[in-house]
Amino acid sequence: MTEYVDVQTAAGRVRGRWRPTTGGRGASRSAAFLGIPFAEAPTGDLRFQAPVPKAPWEGVLDALEFAATAQRGDPGVTLIPEPSVEGDSTLNVNVFTPDPTAAGLPVLVWIHGGGYFAGSPASPWYDGRNFNRDGVVTVSISYRLGFDGFGWIADAPSNRGVRDWLLALEWVQQNIAAFGGDPGRVTIAGQSAGGGAVLTLLGMEAAQHLFHGVYAISGALGDVAPARAEAFGRALAAAAGVEPTVAGFATVAEDRLLALQKKATQLGPSSMTTMIDEGLPLGPAIDGDLLTRPTRESLRAGVGADKPLVIGAADDEFTMAFTGKAATALRWVPQSVLFNRLGLPRSIRAEYLAANADIARLGKARLAGRVLTDRMFRRAVPRIAADRADAPTWLYRFSWPSGHFGFAEHCLDVPFFFDCLDGPSMEALAGPNPPQTLADDLHGAAVAFVTTADPGWPRHEGDAGTVRVYDVQTRDVADAYASVRALI
C-alpha cells in the first residue's frame, strides 16, 4: 500500500501521508495533510488586511510537513508543546482523515489557544489520528496572533484574526467533502483562547452557517471593549513612533512590533487586576461589524441557540501560578490583601469560603489558585449555560489531579480529549502513567458529541443541573458548579 495519498481541493491538488492510529480499534490508519494554505500570506500589502483566499496552484502541493505559524521564535517551555515554524504563509489548515474516499463523516475543527498572542496548530497533541480512528475527520487551523491579528488600527479591518477563523471555516465548507467529511456536520472546538474563539463564533451572526456544534474547553472570551482596543492601538503606535494607521505600522518591523507588544502586555500587580476584571487587551473586540455586542449578550438574544454546546473547565486552571516560591511568599500575605488583589468582593467572601472550605483547608496558595481559576474560567460555565436558557447545553468539570502538579491545571484535559497520552512532553503536565481509562471516557464523549450531537450525559437544565465530572472515576453530579455560585 502506498505511503502517500492525493486529494483534489478547490484550489489545487494536495498530497498527504498515511500513518497508523493507536488504541487497537476502529480505523487502523489516518491520512495527514499538513500546511494546506487557505489564504495568501498576510505579508506586504496584505499584512493588516482581511485574509485573501488562496489562489489556485498547478501540480501537486506536498502537504507533508507543518507550514509556517503566526507564532514566532522559540516559545520556550509551554504546557502544550506548540512549536513555531518560520515562514510567511501562516494561514493554513491541517486535515486528518481516515478515508478521503468516504462520504458524510462528521468533522471536528480545532482552534488552538495561547491567549490570542501565542500558540500553534503544529502541536503533536493536536494530531487527529485517533479522532480518525473513531470515524471523525479532523482539521486544525491557524490564525494571526497578537497585534497583527487583533490590534486596533485606524484604517484597517478589525478583528483580522477572527476573519481568519471565518475564512478557514469557509475553506472547510468548500473542501472537506474531498477528504470524506460532511460540511453539514461540523463541530468547532478549542481550548483556552481557542475555547473563547469557538464561543465567540457561537455568538456571531455572521458565522452561523459555518458549523453545527461547539465544544468549548476552558474558554476565555475576548470581547475587548472598543475604547480599550483603540487605546491599546494608539499607545502601541506611540511607542513605535508612528501614526496608528496601516501605513504607520507597515514601517515597523515584525520583530520590533512583537517586542513592543510584549512590553505593553506584561503582567504586573496592577495589570493583573485589570486582566482578571477585563480580560486580555488583545483578542476579539467589539467592533460594531463582526462583533456587534459582547458574546454573552448575543447568546441571551438567542444567537446560536440551535447549536448544541459542550462547555466546561478544569478545577484549578491557574493554581500553578501560586506554586513554588509564590506559595512560600503567600504564607505572609493576609487573606484580605490576597482577596483584594484577586478582586474577590468583601460582600461575598464568607459565602465563597464556605462553598470552597475543602480548598481553603489546603492553604492560601491553593485557595488563591481556585479564586483566580473561578474568576477567569469556571464561573463562565454556568453563566453561559444560563445565558442559553433552553438551548441544548452540556456541562462538565475536569477534576483529575495531575500526577505532576497534584491538581487539575490548565491544558491538562487536552491530551485526554485527543486521546494522545503517548505523545511527547506528557509527563511534565500529567505526571507518569496518566489513566487511559479517563482518556477513553473524555475522548469517547467528544466523539459521541461530534457524531450524534449528544455527549452521553443529561443536558443541563436549571440552576442545579447535571454536570459530567472527569476524575479518577467519571461520574455525573448534580449542581457540580455550586462552589462558584457566589461569583455569579
Per-residue pLDDT 10s for the chain (488 aa) are: 579 999 999 999 999 999 999 999 999 999 999 999 999 999 999 999 999 999 999 999 999 999 999 999 888 778 999 999 999 999 999 999 999 999 999 999 999 999 999 999 999 999 999 999 999 999 999 999 999 999 999 999 999 999 999 999 999 999 999 999 999 999 999 999 999 999 999 999 999 999 999 999 999 999 999 999 999 999 999 999 999 999 999 999 999 999 999 999 987 766 777 888 888 899 999 999 999 999 999 999 999 999 999 999 999 999 999 988 888 888 899 999 999 999 999 999 999 999 999 999 999 999 999 999 999 999 999 999 999 999 999 999 999 999 999 999 999 999 999 999 999 999 999 999 999 999 999 999 999 999 999 999 999 998 889 999 999 999 999 999 999 999 99
CB atoms within 10 A of CB 237: 21
Q: Which of 142, 298, 399, 410 is catalytic?
A: 410
Judgement on whether residues 300 and 181 belong to the same structural domain of the protein:
yes
478, three cell numbers: 448534580
Residue 323 lies in a domain: yes
- The answer to whether residue 212 is catalytic is no
- The answer to whether residue 123 is catalytic is no
Judgement on whether residues 163 and 83 belong to the same structural domain of the protein:
yes
Judgement on whether residues 303 and 320 belong to the same structural domain of the protein:
no
Judgement on whether residues 358 and 439 belong to the same structural domain of the protein:
yes
Q: Which of 123, 192, 298, 483 is catalytic?
A: 192
Judgement on whether residues 317 and 429 belong to the same structural domain of the protein:
yes
Could you write out the DSSP letters of every residue in 187-236? EEEEETHHHHHHHHHHT-GGGGGG-SEEEEES-----B-HHHHHHHHHHH
**Residue in 312, 306, 289 with CA at minimum distance from that of residue 373:** 312
Residue 132 lies in a domain: yes
Please tell me the total count of domains within the chain. Answer: 2
Residue 325 lies in a domain: yes
Residue 272 lies in a domain: no
Residue 99 lies in a domain: yes
Judgement on whether residues 73 and 124 belong to the same structural domain of the protein:
yes
Judgement on whether residues 203 and 94 belong to the same structural domain of the protein:
yes
Among 292, 307, 322, the domain-final residue is 307
Q: Which of 123, 317, 402, 443 is catalytic?
A: 317
- The answer to whether residue 483 is catalytic is no
Judgement on whether residues 290 and 353 belong to the same structural domain of the protein:
no
Judgement on whether residues 335 and 465 belong to the same structural domain of the protein:
yes
Residue 246 lies in a domain: no
Judgement on whether residues 167 and 81 belong to the same structural domain of the protein:
yes
Region of 402 on the Ramachandran plot (φ > 0 left; ψ -120 to 50 alpha; else beta)? beta
Judgement on whether residues 295 and 439 belong to the same structural domain of the protein:
no
- Full domain range(s) for residue 63: 4-225+284-307
Residue 82 lies in a domain: yes
Residue 468 lies in a domain: yes
Among 244, 274, 307, the domain-final residue is 307
Task: Answer yes or no: pTM beyond 0.85.
Answer: yes
